[in-house]
Amino acid sequence: MSKVDRRITRSQDSIKKALIGLMSEKSFDDITIQDISDRANVNRSTVYLHYLDKFDLLDKVMEEHINNMGNFCESATEMDFIESTVHCMEYFESNYLFFSTMLASEGAPYFRSRFLKFNIEEFKKDVDITKGKDYGQSEDVVVQFVANAYVGVVEWWLKNGMPYPPRVMAEKVGDLLERIV
């Protein structure tokens, strides 16, 4: 596999950070490629060299974070539920600007649906309707309920400036999920 030029990586990182910073200040619809290039301190042509348009850039940024979140949270599979939730909450905390911007932004409702879809797939691994509290329930209903509750709580936590530290939040979420799943 060929090595990626560090200048390319730096330019792409700068462009992505510029987009997120701008989205935290104004509507995605009001952001131009010129705004992004000015904030990133690169030429417009550099933005177009890496991305088709601002929609492609936004899609790539969201995809990267969803994949990183998946890899980060997947690394916690050997932990118990609370510890793995703490691990994931710490990821949200370390990427606060991205997640709070994406979940609060009117210009990125697609992100919330992708985030929800990711969590639905993750919770499908944990729901067992053959025993326990979920015995006899519809797996689809339980998974939808749990995933939507989780996304809603994470969204609330981020939009409110993370009023609880990751561990406390994970314990609160874990206690609630144990009642359901």
Predicted pLDDT of residue 77:
63
Say whether both 166 and 123 belong to one domain.
yes
Say whether both 40 and 89 belong to one domain.
no
| Angular region, 41: left φ>0, alpha ψ -120 to 50, beta rest | left
Say whether both 98 and 152 belong to one domain.
yes
Contact 62, 111 (CB under 8 A): yes
Contact 42, 11 (CB under 8 A): yes
Say whether both 85 and 159 belong to one domain.
yes
State the chain's maximal CA–CA distance in angstroms.
59
Alpha-carbon gap, residue 9 to 153, rounded angstroms = 34
Contact 27, 106 (CB under 8 A): yes
The residues near 168 (Cβ < 8 Å, ≥ 6 apart) are none
Residue 29 to residues 24, 33, 104: CA-CA distances in angstroms? 13, 11, 14
Q: Which domain holds residue 34?
A: 1-51
Sign of the CA dihedral running 123, 129, 130, 132: positive
Say whether both 64 and 21 belong to one domain.
no
Write the CATH number for 123.
1.10.357.10
Number of domains in the chain: 2
Q: Look up residue 116 and give its two tokens.
A: 């929800």
Predicted pLDDT of residue 56:
95
Q: What is the mean pLDDT of each run of 10 residues along the chain (181 residues)?
A: 78 95 90 96 95 94 88 69 82 90 74 89 72 67 88 91 93 81 63
Predicted pLDDT of residue 123:
82
